Amino acid sequence: MAEKSFIKNTSITLVTRIVSLGLGIVISILLARILGPENRGIYALIILIPSFAFMFSNMGINSSTVFYMGKGTYPPHKVAGMRWACVFPFHGNGNNGPAHC
């Protein structure tokens, strides 16, 4: 039973990634055609800056959460709590700024 569930979940993940990749390619082509080279570069720069900011403020928390949850070293509620304790100060409190403790 667990093997069927694993195969089903793996298949769903694979299909989702393929669809996401296909949509990303189509959207990229459409943006390039509609915007032209100069405006496409401006769009890429506008998207790049927040992407880098999110990546650096994330500090690998997602990867470490998956690692420790899979390893089972700590209870899930402790791992999830630590994840939020690390991410919340950098991503704000809903008031367009960092959270203040």
CA–CA separation, 9 vs 54, rounded Å? 28
pTM of the full structure = 0.53
Predicted local distance difference test score (pLDDT) of residue 78: 82
Predicted local distance difference test score (pLDDT) of residue 21: 96
Helices (H) and strands (E) in the chain, counts: 3, 0
What average pLDDT does this structure show over 35-39? 92
The 10s digit of each residue's pLDDT in 63-99 is: 888 888 888 888 888 877 877 777 666 555 554 444 4
Predicted local distance difference test score (pLDDT) of residue 99: 43
Alpha helix (H) residue ranges in 59-100: 61-71, 76-91
DSSP 8-class letter at 92? -
* Residue type at 39 in one-letter notation: N
Predicted local distance difference test score (pLDDT) of residue 1: 62
CA–CA separation, 37 vs 41, rounded Å? 6
CA–CA separation, 18 vs 96, rounded Å? 34
